[in-house]
Amino acid sequence: MAYPYRHPSEVLVLSKYFGDPEARTLKGWEARGGYAPLRKALGMTPAEIVNEVKASGLRGRGGAGFPTGVKWSFMPQKSDKPHYLLCNADESEPGTFKDRELIRWTPHALVEGCLIGAYAIRAEHAYIYIRGEFFEPAQILARAIEEAYAAGYAGKNVMGSGIDLDITLHIGAGAYICGEETGLMNSLEGRRGEPRIKPPFPAISGAFGKPSAINNVETLIAAAHIVQNGAEWYKQWGTEKSTGTKLFCVSGHVKRPGNYEVPMGFNFREFIYDVCGGTASGRPIKSVIPGGSSVPMLTADELDIGMDYEAMAAAGTMLGCGSVIIMDDTTNIVKQVRRMVDFYAHESCGQCTPCREGTAWAAKILRRIENGRGTQEDLDTLISISDNMSGKTICVLSDAAAAPIVSSIEKFRGDYLEMMHAGAGVPVASAIAL
Amino acid sequence: MADATPKANPETVRCTIDGMELEVPKGTRIIDAAARAGIDVPHYCYHPGLSAPAQCRMCLVEVEKAPKLQPSCTATVADGNVIHTQSEKALEARKGVLEFYLVNHPLDCPVCDQSGECKLQDYTAAEGRAMGRLKEPKRVQGRDDFGGDVLFNADRCVMCTRCVRFMREVAQDERLAVVQRGHKNVIDTFFDEGLEGNIWADNIVDLCPVGALVSKDFLHKARAWDLDRAPSICPNCTQGCNVRLETRDNAVMRIKPRPNPEVNAHWMCDYGRLNYEWINREGRIEAPLVRDGDRLVGVSWADALTRLAGALRDVPVRDARAVVSPFMANEDAGALRRVMDVVGGGAGVYRCEAGEEVVLPGFPTLALRPDRAANVHGVELFGFKRAGGTSATGGLDEAAAHRGVLFVLGDELADAPEGFGANASLYVYVGHFASPAARNADFILPATTFAEMEGTFTNIQRRVQRFWPAIQAPGMARPAWQILGVLLAGISDAAPVGTAADAFEALASVRPEFGGLSYTDLAQGGAVLPSFAEAGD
């Protein structure tokens, strides 16, 4: 089973075995060099692993881009409490499907990454929190964990090292907010999925009140490669501050949607037009969201930038988790933004007032505009609401909802104005229904 | 700058809040530090008796050098912090949050039972937008009977979750939860049972900063802004919860807890809270009555007490018995004891209803105590012994058969045997209601209830706590300590008792336990009797 499409510009590190069903099995994974990184890691001290990952410059692939080694080094050095490694596999940002593919094709890579990560932070237990809708990947992962236990890669005395490492797969009930690290911890503990105020930070008081490190699926798999091949090997790709390769998941009006692994700093325009084949229809691109629906949009004129944290930030957007959503010129930006904001309004945990009320209010205004009953004043209100939602809540869900609103009004104001003038004849009932 | 000079105490930190320099203990929350400086930072979810989730986002303040506004309910003061609660950024954020609240909160202030005690109303008036920008329909969620005394108006809820946290953390009986997500979030009970049966549940009505959780008992009864309030002590068990009696038209409309960390923190039980109608009961004795053959004749206080003093001097059997109500104040019981001592001494009893003890798990110092009257421990200090059963009946046989002087103080004698007091050489009734047994008395003297007077109760911790008058006494009723004090001056060389403070001071002459306590120093927090405080009781 070949993977749908591979482009010559790709660098296959994480995604090398995509499309290779044999890699899913323990035997197949071992034949491809699997579990050698774990063996090597167990021969190192936890501090050596942390230092190697630190030296590699690996940054968290869940969206925030925090240096992984540094995060691991925050774990208390002297603690009589158990430590936990938490793997965030609750991938649920609209347009994001890279972790799902990593789990589907290389589940043992994640198991191995978790075991290495757990050892590095001196944890004896790793939890993988996967969203309930990922039924097939969860089944595949459960099978891999079972195989790893049977082969002695997990459990008591891993590979005869005298070290105990356990893994628990936890299937969530399906809430976007449970992918936020502290919301995930609440959910893991059986509580309502609501983010927690920080401090205390997870490294001090995380899951079950114990020191915890939480990493994305892609991050942990990359860390295993770094342990096996060294920091310098990893730094051959990418830029000075954004090292290594990264998986980008591409969707929307694109000729070749899918997952692509390219070095950090890869040219975005080249990526879209060459690697992904441009728009499916051949029509011009209207807008691209580079990092998942929670980051500001770019126009077609803004694509000559590197696919790395710094370049994206300089362009006024974010790399996020690498979810590239392409929209051609047939896209109605207002409808698109309204859908996104509907999503955030639906997924807001409702804990913080600006998010609970702001997302829903913004969605209602957008729907009214979409139904042709908007005014220019509404755009000012939307900007103001977005400002009141940004940076004023426990987590960043409301910031995420505000980003597409603000960037779309800034960059595609014409679409909004057009809809305001095209409203005649829209039935009132449908206009107010939410 | 706050950090310009070295600190004297390493356990404190210095900060500047709105230009005022403060030194506060390490770990003080910004909101509490601001309160020390007299600055009220608006808040909904924060309550000093509960955990702080920092979710209402009302209390965001600007801390210089911090990248974002900080929730002052969880952020603690760091040394050298320069904090602005009224900066443009902080005010703008609060204005924004208030506008968000009003997106779904109906503006039904004129009919809302919160009637002016609503923090949304207050904050919006103080800092909100003059005009709302909302053009969209509000969501409608309706209302729900939560069981017990609590009614829930979901539309008015600001999702501060104080009620949920109270039931989880303090009542430790998790009967409320947030259900749904986002703007559809709503507080709900798990099952139809709701809050029924939990006697601490009404505290969530006090906790609710808006009109979402209201008391069915108080519903449509009075507007909160029409009420007068007096600090008092709950009379309904020996816990002695510090409360406010909230009154209108000379009647108690409701009882609310008053914070006292030593006794009841911020809480009280529903039994005490809802058991107040007896205070408003009509049919009180309104004038001193003196027996004239078969008749009882209304007389002036001077006449009544002069005649009573004369009768006590002339009485042949100088031995007294008494029946005292544990709802009467220390001063009342103490004055009676002094009168009895002058008359020739004697024993007395009290009767008290008793029931199950129900402890508040999250603050175990507080419980609905088995004895359902405020001053059981006070009247015991004055030598009155428990009599009768758990329904405060019976136990009057000895008093009924007594042939000397018989005093009844406050006990209504509803169950007294026929002809009660007939054997007594002199029967004096000081109380509130002229029951058939009371009407046998030679002197019937109208006394005030605790709600109409000033005085003290001694609670289960032997903490002596003051209460203040909340309503007017009916007719000529006077505090029993005043009546008995004047009488005492008439039958002995005791100094006249003019004030409650005098009456309190006189207690030490009959019970040394009260020595060392000053009525003024009791203030609103009370004080444990020194001998018990030393014993660590």
Tokens of B440: 């046998």
What is the distance between the alpha carbons of residues A161 and B234, in angstroms, rounded to a whole number? 67
Contacts of A431 in chain B (CB under 8 A): none
Peptide bond preceding B361 in cis form (omega within 30 of 0): no
Name the nearest CA neighbour of A181 among A297, A53, A327, A62.
A62
Weakest mean pLDDT among A352-356, B163-167, B532-536: B532-536
Contacts of B178 in chain A (CB under 8 A): 192, 350
Contacts of A357 in chain B (CB under 8 A): 100-101, 103-104, 183
Name the nearest CA neighbour of A82 among A214, A208, A220, A215.
A208
User: Is B100's CB within 8 Å of A358's CB?
Assistant: yes
Which pLDDT belongs to residue B192?
79
Partner A contacted by B414 (CB < 8 A): no
Under a CB-based contact definition with an 8 Å cutoff, are residues B69 and B48 in contact?
no
pLDDT greater than 60 at residue A426:
no
Side-chain-side CA neighbours of residue A119 (13 Å): 33
Label residue B9 by pLDDT band (50, 70, 90). Answer: confident
What is the distance between the alpha carbons of residues A283 and A254, in angstroms, rounded to a whole number? 10
Label residue A404 by pLDDT band (50, 70, 90). Answer: very high
What is the distance between the alpha carbons of residues B204 and B170, in angstroms, rounded to a whole number? 11
Tokens of B48: 């000093």
A102-111 b/e with 16+ CB inside 10 Å = b? bbbbbbbbbb
User: Is A353's CB within 8 Å of B159's CB?
Assistant: yes
Partner A contacted by B71 (CB < 8 A): yes
Under a CB-based contact definition with an 8 Å cutoff, are residues A114 and A128 in contact?
yes
3-class SS of residue A330: coil
Triad A324, A13, A52: Cα angle to 5°: 105
User: Is B100's CB within 8 Å of A175's CB?
Assistant: no
| Entry pTM | 0.93
Q: How far is CA B313 from CA B119, B307, B426, B481, in A?
A: 62, 10, 11, 20
B71-101 b/e with 16+ CB inside 10 Å = b? bbbbbbbbebbbbbbeeeebebbbbbbbbbb
Per-residue three-class SS string for A302-321: HCCCECCHHHHHHCCCCCCC
What is the distance between the alpha carbons of residues A290 and A398, in angstroms, rounded to a whole number? 19
Contacts of A356 in chain B (CB under 8 A): 100, 159, 182-183, 185
Estimate the crossing angle of helix B330-343 against helix B500-510, to 10 degrees: 50
What is the distance between the alpha carbons of residues A257 and A3, in angstroms, rounded to a whole number? 12
Q: Which of B54, B68, B184 sits opposite A391 (nearest CB)?
A: B68
The residue in chain A having the minimum alpha-carbon distance to the alpha carbon of residue B91 is A388
CA dihedral A376→A379→A384→A388, nearest 10 degrees, is 150
Under a CB-based contact definition with an 8 Å cutoff, are residues A153 and A38 in contact?
yes
Mean residue pLDDT of chain B comes to 94
The helix (run of H) or strand (run of E) holding residue B368 is strand B367-368
Contacts of A351 in chain B (CB under 8 A): 53, 55, 159
Which pLDDT belongs to residue B537?
47
pLDDT greater than 80 at residue B525:
yes
Tell me how crowded residue B8 is: count the other CB atoms within 10 A of its CB: 8
B219-241 per-position pLDDT tens digit: 999 999 999 999 999 999 999 99
Partner A contacted by B135 (CB < 8 A): yes
Interface of B with A in 90-109 (CB under 8 A): 93, 96-97, 99-101, 103-104
Residue B319 amino acid letter:
D
B98-147 per-position pLDDT tens digit: 999 999 998 888 889 898 899 999 999 999 998 889 999 998 988 999 99
User: Is B103's CB within 8 Å of A346's CB?
Assistant: no
Report the percentage of chain B scoring pLDDT > 90.
88
Q: Residues of chain A whose C-beta is under 8 A from some C-beta in B?
A: 175, 177, 192, 197, 345-361, 364-365, 368, 381, 384-385, 387-388, 391-394, 432
Tokens of B510: 């009959």
The helix (run of H) or strand (run of E) holding residue A228 is helix A217-229
3-class SS of residue B478: strand
B101-111 per-position pLDDT tens digit: 999 998 888 88
User: Is B55's CB within 8 Å of A352's CB?
Assistant: yes
Contacts of B135 in chain A (CB under 8 A): 365, 368
Chain A nearest-CA distance from B57, in A, is 7
Q: Which of B60, B99, B182 sits opposite A348 (nearest CB)?
A: B182
- Is B220 exposed, middle or buried (CB count within 10 Å of its CB: 0-12, 13-18, 19+)? exposed
Report phi then psi at A355, rounded to 5.
-80, -50
Q: Which of A197, A359, A392 sits opposite B182 (nearest CB)?
A: A359
The residue in chain B having the minimum alpha-carbon distance to the alpha carbon of residue A382 is B133
Most A CBs within 10 A among B135, B164, B174, hence the mutation to make, goes to B135
The residue in chain A having the minimum alpha-carbon distance to the alpha carbon of residue B53 is A197
What is the distance between the alpha carbons of residues A350 and A161, in angstroms, rounded to a whole number? 47
Label residue A434 by pLDDT band (50, 70, 90). Answer: very low
In sequence order, what DSSP letters do the residues of B187-244 get, joined into one string? EEESSTTTTTT-TTTTHHHHH-SSSSEEETTTTTT--GGG-EEEEEE--SSTT--EEE
B54-69 per-position pLDDT tens digit: 999 999 999 999 999 9
User: Is B137's CB within 8 Å of A361's CB?
Assistant: no
Under a CB-based contact definition with an 8 Å cutoff, are residues A388 and A341 in contact?
no
User: Is A361's CB within 8 Å of B185's CB?
Assistant: no
Estimate the crossing angle of helix A333-347 against helix A413-421, to 10 degrees: 100
Q: Which of A356, A361, A381 sits opposite B185 (nearest CB)?
A: A356
Which pLDDT belongs to residue A425?
43
Per-residue three-class SS string for A269-298: HHHHHHHCCCCCCCCCEEEEECCCCCCCCE
Side-chain-side CA neighbours of residue B27 (13 Å): 2
Partner A contacted by B68 (CB < 8 A): yes
User: Is B57's CB within 8 Å of A352's CB?
Assistant: yes
Contacts of B183 in chain A (CB under 8 A): 345, 348, 350, 356-357, 359-361
Determine the average pLDDT of the residues in B356-378: 98
Which pLDDT belongs to residue B6?
57
User: Is B185's CB within 8 Å of A368's CB?
Assistant: no
Chain A nearest-CA distance from B137, in A, is 8
User: Is B57's CB within 8 Å of A197's CB?
Assistant: no
A230-289 per-position pLDDT tens digit: 999 999 999 999 999 999 999 999 999 999 999 999 999 999 999 999 999 999 999 999
pLDDT greater than 70 at residue B3:
no
Triad B147, B153, B158: Cα angle to 5°: 120
Tokens of B457: 């109760």
Partner A contacted by B55 (CB < 8 A): yes
Chain A nearest-CA distance from B378, in A, is 47
Contacts of A364 in chain B (CB under 8 A): 136
What is the distance between the alpha carbons of residues B431 and B411, in angstroms, rounded to a whole number? 7
Name the nearest CA neighbour of B136 among A417, A353, A373.
A373
Contacts of B71 in chain A (CB under 8 A): 197
Mean residue pLDDT of chain A comes to 94
- End-to-end CA, chain A: 43
Name the nearest CA neighbour of A120 among A112, A128, A131.
A112
Name the nearest CA neighbour of A106 among A188, A35, A179.
A35
Q: Which of B53, B60, B139 sits opposite A392 (nearest CB)?
A: B60
A185-194 per-position pLDDT tens digit: 999 999 999 9
Under a CB-based contact definition with an 8 Å cutoff, are residues B268 and B257 in contact?
yes
3-class SS of residue B251: strand
User: Is A357's CB within 8 Å of B183's CB?
Assistant: yes
Label residue A423 by pLDDT band (50, 70, 90). Answer: low
What is the distance between the alpha carbons of residues A146 and B448, in angstroms, rounded to a whole number? 79
Contacts of A198 in chain B (CB under 8 A): none
